[in-house]
A and B are shown apart, each in its own frame.
Chain A
Amino acid sequence: MTDKVNVADKLGMNKFHTDELNSHIEVDKEYSDKAEIDLVTRVCPAGLYSVDENETLFFDYLGCLECGTCKVLSEGKVVKNWNYPPGTLGIEYRMG
């Protein structure tokens, strides 16, 4: 097993146009199935889902790559609402 990956550093190389007001993905903070939360936390390629020591679920929309993996896995459960950010906002791939 290699060193623990630091996704935040990797996301730092990407270009984002931040939506300063809203998150395009709404997470159900009341959702309590730990196993499901664990799956979503691990499946997100950008590592945006996390659980703190009080087991509160956090989702940071700022580094979202808008792939839709969390939507496919857990819409209706951990993910309450999933949409793309409004036009011009979100990830902007220079290379792709």
Chain B
Amino acid sequence: MHLLSRFRSLLSNVFHREHAERELDEEMSAHLDLLIDEKIAAGLSVQEARRNALIEFGGLAQVKEQVRDVRMGALIEQVWLDAGYAVRILLKNPSFTALVVITLALGIGVNTAIFSLVDGILLRPLPFERPDRLVRLVQSQSQLGLPLWNLSQATFTALRDNNTHSLEAIAAYSTSGANLTGGGDPERVSVGNVSADFFKVLGVQPLLGRTFRAGEDTPGNNGVCVISFGFWQRQFGGDPNMIGRSLNLNSIATEVIGVMPAGFSFPRPETEIWVPLAINPTRTAPYFLRAIARLAPGVLPSDAEAETTEGLWDYARKHPDTSEARVPLDKGSALKTVVTPLKDAMVGATQKPLLILLGAVGLVLLIACANIANLLLARATSRVKELAVRFALGASPSRVARQLLTESLVLSVIGAAGGVLLAWLGVRMLDRLPIEGIPRIEGVALDARVLTFTAGLAVLTGLLFGLMPALRAYRMGMVAAMHEGGRGSSSSHRANRALVAAQFALSFVLLIGAGLLLKSLHHLESVSLGFNPDRLLTMLISLPARKYAKPEQTVQFYQSLMERMSGMPGIRSAAITSGLPFTSGGNTDNFIVEGHPPDTAEGVQAQLVSMAPGHLQVMEIPLLRGRDFLETDNADSQSVAIVDETLARMYWPDGDALGKRVETTGDMTWLTIVGVVGGIKEVGLAEELQPHIYVPLAQGPTLQAQLAVRTDGPFNTLIGAIRSEVSEVDPEIPVYSIRAMNDVIGRTLNSQRLTNILLTAFSVLALLLAAVGIYGTMALYVASRKKEFGIRLALGAPQAVLLRLVLREGMVLIATGVAIGIAGAAAMSRAIESLLFEVSPTDPAVLIAVPLLLVLVALAACFVPARRASRIDPMIALRVE
């Protein structure tokens, strides 16, 4: 309370705007009263006197305005003078100034960089019309283990035609790719498959031509497309007569009807072509559509969710044979729509790590401020004489306090300039960090919004670390005015120590957070995949449906490709499959196990994979029982399947799966199990194992295939060779998405990796700052007691005693800091609990290692001043002062 009132009086003195204004009013009216008195004394009536006085005075407002101008001018002049004085003072202490500016540049730099991420990803509105009214709509069938599930064509049509009041418009979309041929090398382009209202919902107009009309999203009418600005420029050099030209997509001539403006890319950042869906309202499966919708005015997402859920239940009642209808429709039913603001849906899981990083850099800045406040306090002690002289010359306490604050602000502005430079370098280096797959990262930039944030931060930090020294000077001036004299060096040391303890508390919190996340990432990275990702190259091939209409044709293509590749140098083995793990290329479906009731309540889904013989060896997935597929498992022989251990354990925990039969809901043939293989991770390292059913490629042909190649040589030279082999078989087939399996898996960890790299860097920075802080404080402590130590040494105290004395002083500070930090760390671990994988928030290893690290660093930082204390030459020490 005491400190608060002192702070208030300082502020009112430094910025006595309101007070001055009131005083000016009073002065003017007092002057007027005196004038009136004078007139009355001269014999005028009261009214006359008043009138004459007002005339003589002239415009009251103008007079006040002129006085204000004078005061303002004086203030500006003073700030300018103070700033100039501050710069001169700072230049006189270059090492002090450099230390402060570097500390600040680091603190403000990391904050600017992280804020640019937060702003670009979380805060900036989506580039659509009134983006806050846009929502994403999917469904949830929690009881079937599907908390977020796409819509089928039938579900979407039902929801769209339901005349929903809470939604202005709704559109469906999915993403795919297409082979673009007819102009040079075949190319794979990213396609958005959308319903007719897609662009209307987003409220985006085409640059050229038109977007889709109602009815163009029905089978047979969808031979048109809209292209992106980038694609238009790249492929056609921005041809002004683009509308009406034709593209050869998947061997189908498709007419370009529109070009979108630059910067429009949705649903994926790389989407270049939009093609209408061919919606068939009778298809109740598969589930591959998502919907975007525009909320009606005044409607909340939760309202829309309630209304569309009604519609979904309606649909489920009318379609008793669908997955939707398998969920009991009661009050707490797990069948519902999920309506999420579009931005939240896009940003999703990135939000939390980013906010944690923002919190972390905030703590780093606090630590930096504490360091600078400490330095300023230490310097204030040595500036006591300078200030005393200024007070003696008649400088008012508020005037000196203002000057010291100006000095701090000058420091923080210079530091902020350095920080912006650092942040600029950081954002430029963003490409070197694991960022692929992080949403909206392409929009991150250091722009006016971010710079405004930095400017605000600079002023705030300047006030934060400048306030304490200014307050001290103010109080010193007050004391000097009362002729009491005296200085406050003991309280200065107390403030110093409190700041250092606070720094260690904050560093402790950060290090605990970083430690937990690092351990969690380590666990994730050492998760057993079930296959060997090393030296494994993956790529995609898509066969156009028109040219490869018959299953035999696709089998023929794959066989000739395999034959060509088996002899290639650098390739140890290669195989074709319909979907590799981690590539989201797989196919998920319900299945039925012979002898088990078909609609089991669990509603387990299995990953369906078609694979050529040899795929298991390429992937190094162990065959546990039975046999692999053979060339003789073809369209004419018995239908067979291989299941993985995950599925086998579910249905035959004690018995043997071999010889048993399963059926996928897609086709009605029983597949005899001929082998059992090890389970593999399919989508994410942290996910549970999903059951897999493998079928021979010849019995389950696929148009989109993935190629897994186990290599001996370097990837780069192989890629060209494989491309040319493919084009030998069919020159119209592009090979795309060529990636090392380790990169594919690593991509799923990018968000965690980025968070960890940054958080670790920030924690180390915090620890270094805290170490500098404790070093400075201990050095000051030793210097202030130099005389005493000298006497003790002269009287025969052993050096070790003094060494221990100083170290103990340091350890008390650290222990205090750690004790406070434990409370903060508890809050921190709760905040990040959901980001942890197989690590408890109270992980003993982290909770022991972090304090140990802190103590070691602090000991090292204290050791230098401690040694200096024990080596003091008594004679020199006694002669000081």
A in complex with B: no
